[in-house]
């Protein structure tokens, strides 16, 4: 079955695309362009520290107030009922992430005992974006989860206009954040790396934020490219068009660089969804295509590898995606289901999933050698000789001589 061979009607937000053009719905966003734009900012914050952050706060946000906020500061702005609300959400988020956290493991074979040890990152930087409204949920998903998993020190960077708001201060307090930097965008990310001295930087954001994360990753590890928002909906004739429409509108309201794509086996459903989104106001792109069957839908979505996938179909086999939900709206995953809402975008879902316990932890392996490892030591020495590493071979052969 082919998609509707017509343009969208006047006033419709939904753009119809043939299946072969689904790969183009992500648009022409070129992150390299943003890397070039933010490079001077990142370099200056690295060189001049807090003074550069203050400069860019003035230039971009017309803010000249305090940049560094302590627990006492944001505690004074918080509201008890909001703190309680956020703590209740964190119970579910923490339970999920603790359940899925990697455990220490040991391996023994042929005279070698190797142990893998997992430990929390000592000092984490979390970027919490803010547009027209604050995002307390992102504070919970990043800082709150990190503290629940044992990260010793967490610093959050967020735009100044929200840093001392009642909502965000309550989220910081519930999340047990240690300090807050009132700085957004590229200079906020840079402040986490070069002012707060974070050992890792995580968090979502627009292209300026993600470009800055790429640049600071030369010095400090990051989690992933996480933004702008992406959604694909897989639906058959059993789907509720109103539920599908709301799911798509929810992710498209993130901004003009976001998109929501409907991939359906039923043209009638697509037309019903079109009716329901008509006249609504969202900045992101809404797209739809009609496919032969759910297998084709899965293939197209997997090739796109968006951050969110919602499945409204009688059969369910998840495609490649950052996170998938079955007959549940993607915004539920954004808030309180348990899994993290910081998700890979730009096709990164082909190689990784949501922000999770592994992103808040470091791991190391310890190896112990016993006499029974003589044959493996001989193999190692032979490989070293093949690679021209004389002293590698001598070190191994000396150990071999001591255990024989």
Q: Out of 97, 187, 308, 341, which one is annotated catalytic? A: 308
Q: Of residues 169 and 1, which shows the higher confidence score? A: 169
Going by the annotation, the residues of the binding site for substrate are 229, 251, 254, 308, 334, 387, 392
> Do 126 and 142 contact (CB within 8 A), yes or no?
yes
Q: Where in the chain is the domain with CATH 3.40.50.1980?
A: 14-29+228-338, 31-89+121-226
User: What average pLDDT does range 133-141 have in this prediction?
Assistant: 96
Total residue length of the chain:
404
Strands 112-120 and 105-109: antiparallel
Q: Of residues 386 and 13, which shows the higher confidence score? A: 386
What superfamily in CATH does domain 14-29+228-338 come from? Answer: Nitrogenase molybdenum iron protein domain (3.40.50.1980)
Residue 283 three-state SS: coil
In order of 3, 11, 96, the CA distances from 8 in angstroms are 12, 8, 42
Measured over the CA atoms of residue 132, residue 133, residue 137 and residue 142, the dihedral's sign is positive
Is there a cis peptide before residue 122, judged by omega within 30 degrees of 0?
no
Going by the annotation, the residues of the binding site are 229, 251, 254, 308, 334, 387, 392
pLDDT tens, 179-229? 999 999 999 999 999 999 999 999 999 999 999 999 999 999 999 999 889
Beta strands across the sheet bearing 179-182: 68-70, 179-182, 153-158, 123-127, 200-202
List, in sequence order, the alpha helices (H) in 107-206: 136-139, 145-148, 160-163, 166-174, 185-194
230 in active site = no
Chain-centroid distance of CA 162 in Å reads 21
In this predicted structure, what is the pLDDT of residue 12? 67
CATH topology of domain 31-89+121-226: Rossmann fold (3.40.50)
pTM over the 0.85 mark: yes
User: What average pLDDT does range 109-119 have in this prediction?
Assistant: 98
Res. 80: pLDDT tops 80: yes
User: What average pLDDT does range 310-335 have in this prediction?
Assistant: 89
**CA-wise closest residue to 204 among 25, 348, 337, 28:** 348
Going by the annotation, the residues of the binding site for Zn(2+) are 251, 254, 334, 392
Q: How confident is the model at residue 86 (pLDDT cuts 50, 70, 90)?
A: very high
Among 1-10, 137-146, 268-277, 330-339, the range scoring the smallest mean pLDDT is 1-10
Q: How confident is the model at residue 6 (pLDDT cuts 50, 70, 90)?
A: very low
User: What average pLDDT does range 144-168 have in this prediction?
Assistant: 97
Strands 200-202 and 123-127: parallel
Bridge partners (DSSP) of residue 167 are: none
Strands 361-369 and 14-16: unpaired
Q: Structure tokens of 85?
A: 């609300």
Host H or E run for residue 290: strand 285-290
Distance, in Å, from the CA atom of 326 to the CA atom of 318, rounded to the nearest integer, reads 9
Distance, in Å, from the CA atom of 184 to the CA atom of 201, rounded to the nearest integer, reads 14
Distance, in Å, from the CA atom of 269 to the CA atom of 399, rounded to the nearest integer, reads 70
In this predicted structure, what is the pLDDT of residue 287? 97
In order of 139, 286, 293, 360, the CA distances from 274 in angstroms are 34, 10, 20, 41
Q: Out of 153, 307, 341, 382, which one is annotated catalytic? A: 307
The DSSP letter of residue 144 is I
Q: Structure tokens of 388?
A: 């021209």
In DSSP notation, 334-379 reads HHTSSS-S----TTGGGT--SS-GGGGEEEEEEEEE-GGGHHHHHH
> Do 300 and 22 contact (CB within 8 A), yes or no?
yes
199 in active site = no
């Amino acid at each position: 079955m082919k998609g509707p061979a017509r343009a969208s009607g006047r006033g419709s937000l939904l753009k119809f695309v043939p299946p072969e053009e689904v790969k183009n719905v992500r648009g022409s966003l070129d992150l390299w362009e943003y890397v070039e734009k933010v490079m001077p900012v990142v370099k200056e914050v690295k060189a001049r520290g807090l003074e550069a952050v203050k400069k860019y706060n003035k230039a971009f946000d017309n803010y000249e107030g305090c940049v560094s906020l302590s627990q006492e500061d944001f505690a004074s702005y918080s509201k008890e009922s909001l703190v309680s609300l956020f703590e209740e959400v964190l119970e579910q988020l923490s339970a999920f992430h603790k359940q899925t956290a990697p455990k220490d493991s040991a391996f023994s074979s042929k005279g070698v005992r190797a142990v893998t040890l997992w430990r929390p990152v000592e000092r984490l930087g979390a970027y919490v974006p803010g547009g027209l409204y604050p995002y307390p949920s992102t504070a919970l998903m990043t800082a709150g989860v990190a503290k629940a998993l044992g990260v010793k020190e967490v610093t959050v960077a967020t735009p100044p206009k929200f840093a001392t708001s009642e909502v965000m201060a309550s989220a910081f307090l519930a999340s047990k954040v240690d300090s807050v930097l009132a700085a957004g965008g590229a200079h906020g990310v840079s402040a986490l790396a070069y002012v707060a001295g974070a050992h890792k930087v995580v968090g979502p954001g627009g292209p300026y934020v993600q470009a800055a994360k790429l640049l600071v990753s030369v010095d400090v590890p990051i989690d992933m490219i996480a933004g702008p928002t992406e959604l694909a909906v897989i639906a058959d004739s059993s789907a509720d068009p109103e539920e599908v429409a709301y799911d798509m509108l929810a992710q498209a309201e993130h901004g003009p660089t976001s998109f929501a794509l409907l991939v359906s086996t039923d043209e009638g459903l697509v037309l019903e969804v079109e009716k329901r989104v008509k006249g609504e106001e969202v900045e992101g792109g809404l797209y739809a295509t009609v496919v032969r069957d759910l297998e084709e839908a899965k293939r197209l979505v997997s090739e796109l590898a968006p951050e969110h996938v919602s499945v409204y179909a009688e059969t369910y086999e998840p495609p490649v995606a950052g996170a998938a939900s079955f007959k549940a709206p993607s915004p539920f995953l954004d808030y309180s289901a348990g899994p993290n809402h910081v998700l890979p975008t730009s096709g990164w879902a082909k190689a990784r999933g949501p922000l999770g316990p592994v992103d808040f932890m470091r791991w190391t392996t310890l190896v112990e050698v016993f006499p029974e490892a003589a044959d493996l030591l001989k193999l190692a020495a032979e490989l070293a000789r093949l690679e021209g590493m004389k002293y590698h071979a001598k070190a191994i052969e000396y150990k071999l001589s001591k255990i024989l």
